[in-house]
Amino acid sequence: MKKINYILSTIIILLVFASCEKEVFEPVVGVYTPPAMEDVSGTYVFSEDIADDVFKTFSWTDADFGFQSATTYKVQLDFAGNDFATAVDLITTTEKSASITVGALNQKLLAMGAKTNVPSDFEVRVTAEVSDYVQTLASNAPVMNILPYKVVIIYPSLYLPGNYQAASGYESDWSPDKAQQVYSIKQNEKYEGYVNMVGDGIMFKFTDEPNWDLNWGDTDADGTLDVNGTDISIPTAGYYRIKADINALTYSFEKTDWGLIGDATPDGWDADQNMTYSMDTKTWTVTVDLVAGTIKFRANDDWALNYGDTGFDGTLDEGGDNIPIDEAGNYTIVLNLEAPGFAYEIIKN
């Protein structure tokens, strides 16, 4: 009898544990009220003479999460119809209104790829956040038709001072003001660029300005950036793609060699025409006979990293469209990966 009672007790305990394991706590979904943005729809033509003027003071109502909260608001912009998939943050604030100048917004639009010869439609909205555990609320999204003006885009950048500089053609070692830069093309604290690193025992750091006031290294060599951290080590000399995310405090580097490929080249899409790097011009070049067709640039004889030109505006896009060659001839092709936006030149000899 004791044995039977013991077995029954064990079964009951197991059933209790099993029922506990099946209990799943779903996140609580509240009845929230998103912020409502004041209507700013309209047609706007920008010009350099009004660059310092306030474009708009965006305003919105309070978001209601059903409880007292410290709410962070972000004014976001994207091309109309893109569902804010590549939204750019214009302003972050805890207030219920914020302003931006014409010049500042113009820079953002150009960085997004807006054209200066035709107006584009943009949607603007405000989002409300209180924590990672509560859903983000988004407002209505009025549409603005804006024609930006052409200007040299000043991209945010990081500097890469290190002991490679003198040997690589960047003047003196460990000089931030002489160092190659990586750029945040989307102005979102994510930086990318290329740098030639020559020598042995190569080391470098990131600096926020062309000085040492704020710098990042990697103390544990784990891919995580640390303020005033240990110098970052590069295993072998080469031409490197460098990325850094200052918000996430992460970075990466990839060694690259560049080539030209396409049905306009002698080997078609089967093999690259190797390009040569010049420390004097900081560019890659190749002189080659081409036929009418198309070309692209790719790294390391592989398609994992390649550039084309979507929109054919003279700047390169990762994985972008094939670049047309209209007629046969001998060409010198120049690839400049050290300029923001990455540029190329096709010269018929």
Domain 42-147 fold: Immunoglobulin-like (2.60.40)
Instruction: Flag the least confident range among 240-254, 272-286, 303-317.
Output: 303-317
Confidence of residue 17 (pLDDT cuts 50, 70, 90): very low
The answer to whether residues 225 and 251 touch, using CB atoms and an 8 Å cutoff, is yes
pLDDT at 4 over 50: no
3-state secondary structure of 56: strand
The percent of residues in the chain predicted with pLDDT above 90, rounded, is 75
Over residues 54-59, the mean pLDDT reads 94
- Rounded-to-integer distance, Cα 147 and Cα 212, Å: 39
When the pLDDT of each residue in the chain is averaged and rounded to a whole number, the result is 89
Q: Dihedral sign, CA of 64, 66, 71, 73?
A: negative
The whole-number pLDDT of residue 115 equals 85
| Span 167-209, pLDDT tens digits | 999 999 999 999 999 999 888 899 999 999 999 999 999 999 9
258-348 has which CATH code? Answer: 2.60.40.3620
The whole-number pLDDT of residue 138 equals 94
Q: Of 207, 165, 152, which is closest to residue 182 (Cα–Cα)?
A: 207
Residues in the chain: 349
Over residues 324-338, the mean pLDDT reads 94
Confidence of residue 146 (pLDDT cuts 50, 70, 90): very high
Do 258-348 and 42-147 have the same topology in CATH?
yes
3-state secondary structure of 79: strand
The answer to whether residues 139 and 60 touch, using CB atoms and an 8 Å cutoff, is yes
Q: Of 293, 297, 322, which is closest to residue 307 (Cα–Cα)?
A: 297
| Span 91-142, pLDDT tens digits | 999 999 999 999 999 988 988 888 888 899 999 999 999 988 888 999 999 9
The answer to whether residues 126 and 76 touch, using CB atoms and an 8 Å cutoff, is yes
Kindly list the domain boundaries of the chain, sorted by start residue: 42-147, 157-256, 258-348
| Span 208-256, pLDDT tens digits | 999 999 999 999 999 999 999 999 999 999 999 999 999 999 999 999 9
Alpha helix stretches (DSSP H) within the chain: 2-22, 102-112, 165-168
157-256 has which CATH code? Answer: 2.60.40.10
3-state secondary structure of 178: helix
The whole-number pLDDT of residue 308 equals 95
